[in-house]
Structures are given as structure tokens and as C-alpha cells.
Structure 1
Amino acid sequence: MVFAPLFGYIGDRYPRKFVILLGIVVWSGSVLLSTFVLSDVS
């Protein structure tokens, strides 16, 4: 709920396909970068 105003603004300002694509790119990049973590967090 903290970022709801930000994403509401982005959702109103840009087309839906762009927002969804941006979310997919950010999520995929995060997952890809997480594969390079060398040790478990305990």
C-alpha cells in the first residue's frame, strides 16, 4: 500500500501494456540477479 500512489500515477499516465512489460522486466531481472547470490541468508 505504500507504493499505491506511485503505481496509480504510473498506471494513469502510461499505457497498460507498457506498465505490465516494465513489471515483467523488473521481476525477470531480479530473479536473474538472485541466481548470482553466493550464500544463503541465515
Structure 2
Amino acid sequence: MKLLRDFILTAAAIAVLLVIYADRQRAEEESAARELAAWRGKSDK
């Protein structure tokens, strides 16, 4: 029973880390897209 509980807790911890990682990746991509748009706006002038 303890082994099952440990497995579930480990799986939950990994899931949380994956969600945090995915959110950071998304935020980084949005930031890069904004920087690119700003750079393109400056280069057009």
C-alpha cells in the first residue's frame, strides 16, 4: 500500500513539474514573439 501511495505522489510531483515547465516555455515563446514583433516594427521605419 505504501508503495502505491509513493508512486501516486511521485507521479503527481512529476505532473506538477511538467505543468510548470510547459507554462514557462509558453511564456518564453510569447516573450520572443513580442520581441520579434517590436524589432520588426522598428526595422520598418
TM-score under structure 1 normalisation?
0.54
Of structures 1 and 2, the larger Rg is shown by 2
User: TM-score, normalised to structure 2's length?
Assistant: 0.51
Structure 1 residues not aligned, in runs of 5+: 1-11
Number of equivalences: 27
* Aligned with residue 33 of structure 1, among 31, 36, 43: 36
Q: Point out which structure has higher relative CO (alpha carbons under 8 A, 6+ apart).
A: 1
RMSD of aligned C-alpha atoms? 2.1
Greater percentage in helix: 2
Instruction: Specify every segment of 5 or more residues in structure 2 that has no aligned partner in the other structure, as ranges.
Output: 1-14
